[in-house]
Amino acid sequence: MSNATLSDTRKRQGELGQFLTPAPVANFMASLFGPLPKVVRLLDAGAGAGALTAAFVSRLCHKKDVVRAIEATLFELDPFIQGALSKTMQDCEHRCAEAGIRFTFTIHKTDFIHDMSALLMGNLFATTPPAFNVAITNPPYRKIGIDSAERRALSSAGIETSNLYTGFIALIQKLLIPTGQIVGITPQSFCNGPYFRLFREEFLRNMELRRLHVFESRNAAFRDDSVLQENIIFHAVKGRAQPRELVVSSSSGEHGDVVAESVLAFSDVVHPHDVEKFIHIPSAPSHDAAKAIMDGLHSSLTSLGVTVSTGRVVDFRLKDSLRQEPQKGTVPLVYPCHFDAGTVRWPKPQSRKPNAILDNDDTRPWLVPSGVYLLTKRFTSKEERRRLVACLFDPDNVTAEWLGFENHLNYFHANGRGLDRSLAVGLFAFLNSTVVDQYFRRFSGHTQVNAGDLRQLAYPSRDTLHAIGIDMKSLDLPQEKIDALVAKHLHAHK
Ligand SMILES: C[S@@+](CC[C@H](N)C(=O)[O-])C[C@H]1O[C@@H](n2cnc3c(N)ncnc32)[C@H](O)[C@@H]1O
């Protein structure tokens, strides 16, 4: 393929959210279904070249269980892949014929979101939506803006969500009959992303979660397509009674890897009183140890008298007030690029970001009075060792009366003002510890750490944080030293 054609293909694939499931992953997914009915009415939405249906069919042909007939319905929008899909379905037909299973299929070369939303919107004159008892899916992933056609279509079917993949899953859930099953592979972001709360609520209200599977290393499952998100596979059954326990497993996603399984209480995965309905997923034994330590902590941020907020300066909204270098009438503007060895080094010479913001009546509402603040990055790159990166703003190093914290960071404060120094240093060590990092990784599939996530966390008591803060002689300690210090005090104050 020429470079131009290759880049066109990549572009089209990106727009369609097209990342094909490798065969070993598709086979694994097909193995997760519970007992199946005699006549399987199968839905494969966003079918691509048909890898998932093929894996499902192949397994049934091999297993020869009760299934007598498979009626497959497939949706695929991309004309460039529809030929391959037809070919795969013909292969399925042959395999089934040999195995004595009746196989029929319908390929809809149309938009699944558009078509199914229209059928589900309850229009009296519309045809009744189809009903399926099995769904297997790797839906497309792409953010959908508030004004997009997809968003409007989904809204008309009573679904409010900001990504194509959750739109697909929400529609599939509605198209399943009670006891109908779904196995899906999606980004992990729906498990705790703040924008997916409504989706989680609806999903957990209507679907019984039976199995979760995560991939330990980023991109392993889709190495060839360099998908950035971490993926999760789930098996769920339409019904309203969550199981007492479910199997959570993990593997690397590489060929021939080992699947490590553990049985967890459902209440450990979705905490009964959690209004956010986060889905917590442990993936490695060290994460369990982290959970045990975190479970022993009982202070909330509120009980510590501390609040965490997202930096208030949204730079593009205050563009005219930003200055590359500090000058008369400006105050420091702090971005994550100012984080350096545990503290804020300001100003940053040759910074790509402006170092200062005018202090006037327009900008003052977005500024904070100077003081000791603890800052964390909201976004970390995957190269970063830790998912949570905390840094101390020390007013002794940066002289100013007011400060601007930019929107890409979160800041911990006491009612809008700076924190007590040793408490802030204690929080610095705790949030930079491996225990907190692993706890975060355990239930966070994405590299974004929102203020909401930090509010949810359990913290050591005020006394423990003070003690850690006093004991911490430098902010630029190696990870082992930070961990040892935090462990020592958590142990001493048990
Ligand atoms: C993530 S890929 C997965 C493909 C296939 N299921 C697999 O696992 O290999 C999602 C597929 O959905 C298709 N697609 C994207 N938007 C769609 C839509 N609105 N309706 C139907 N198919 C769509 C894409 O062209 C792509 O082939």
**Of 222, 251, 283, which residue constitutes the final position of a domain?**
283
pLDDT tens per residue across span 396-411: 999 999 999 999 999 9
Decide if 113 is inside a domain. Answer: yes
For tokens 């450990």, the residue is 268
What pLDDT was estimated at residue 367? Answer: 97
What pLDDT was estimated at residue 226? Answer: 39
Is the distance from the beta carbon of residue 81 to the nearest atom of ligand 1 less than 6 Å? yes
pLDDT tens per residue across span 349-395: 999 999 999 999 999 999 999 999 999 999 877 566 777 899 999 99
Q: Which of 12, 20, 88 to mutate to test the pocket of ligand 1 (most atoms within 8 A of CB)?
A: 20
Residues pairing with 248 in the sheet:
212, 262
Residue 36 belongs to domain with CATH number: 3.40.50.150
- Average pLDDT of 432-451? 76
**Exposure on the CB side of residue 345, measured as CA atoms within 13 A:** 11
Whether 341 and 427 share a structural domain: yes
Best CA proximity match to 96, nearest among 57, 140, 56: 57
Of the listed ranges 91-105, 293-307, 412-426, the least confidently predicted one is 293-307
Residue 435 belongs to domain with CATH number: 3.90.220.10
Whether 199 and 332 share a structural domain: no
Whether 100 and 139 share a structural domain: yes
What pLDDT was estimated at residue 223? Answer: 47
State which ligand 1 atom lies nearest to the alpha carbon of 16.
Answer: 15
Q: Which of 15, 18, 233 to mutate to test the pocket of ligand 1 (most atoms within 8 A of CB)?
A: 18
Residues 6+ apart with CB under 8 A from 379: 336, 408, 447, 448, 449
What pLDDT was estimated at residue 297? Answer: 92
What pLDDT was estimated at residue 385? Answer: 72
Whole-angstrom Cα Rg for the chain = 26
Q: Which token pair is 487?
A: 């462990």
> In which domain, by residue range, is 340 found?
302-492
Residues pairing with 334 in the sheet:
405
Is the distance from the beta carbon of residue 225 to the nearest atom of ligand 1 less than 6 Å? no
Whether 382 and 474 share a structural domain: yes
Q: Where are the beta strands (DSSP E) in 46-175?
A: 69-75, 102-108, 132-137
Asked if 66 and 36 touch (Cβ cutoff 8 Å), the reply is yes
253, pLDDT greater than 70:
no
Is the distance from the beta carbon of residue 113 to the nearest atom of ligand 1 less than 6 Å? yes
Is the distance from the beta carbon of residue 176 to the nearest atom of ligand 1 less than 6 Å? no
How many whole angstroms from 352 Cα to the centroid of ligand 1?
Answer: 38
Whether 466 and 336 share a structural domain: yes
Is the distance from the beta carbon of residue 490 to the nearest atom of ligand 1 less than 6 Å? no
* pLDDT tier, 282 (very low <50, low <70, confident <90, very high otherwise): low
**Of 250, 283, 316, which residue constitutes the final position of a domain?**
283
* pLDDT tier, 192 (very low <50, low <70, confident <90, very high otherwise): confident
Whether 269 and 310 share a structural domain: no
Decide if 371 is inside a domain. Answer: yes
How many whole angstroms from 245 Cα to the centroid of ligand 1?
Answer: 32
What pLDDT was estimated at residue 229? Answer: 41
414, pLDDT greater than 90:
yes
**Of 233, 256, 283, which residue constitutes the final position of a domain?**
283
Is the distance from the beta carbon of residue 67 to the nearest atom of ligand 1 less than 6 Å? no
If one counts the domains in the chain, the total is: 2
Whether 323 and 264 share a structural domain: no
Decide if 208 is inside a domain. Answer: yes
Is the distance from the beta carbon of residue 140 to the nearest atom of ligand 1 less than 6 Å? yes
Decide if 470 is inside a domain. Answer: yes
Decide if 179 is inside a domain. Answer: yes
Whether 50 and 185 share a structural domain: yes
pLDDT tens per residue across span 446-483: 567 889 889 989 999 999 999 999 999 999 998 889 98
Asked if 287 and 439 touch (Cβ cutoff 8 Å), the reply is yes
Scored b (16 or more CB within 10 A) or e, 345-376 reads ebbeeeeebbbbbbbeeebeebbbebbbbbbb
* pLDDT tier, 128 (very low <50, low <70, confident <90, very high otherwise): confident
Decide if 6 is inside a domain. Answer: no
Whether 311 and 241 share a structural domain: no
**Atom 14 of ligand 1, nearest CA residue:** 46
What pLDDT was estimated at residue 249? Answer: 81
Whether 279 and 421 share a structural domain: no
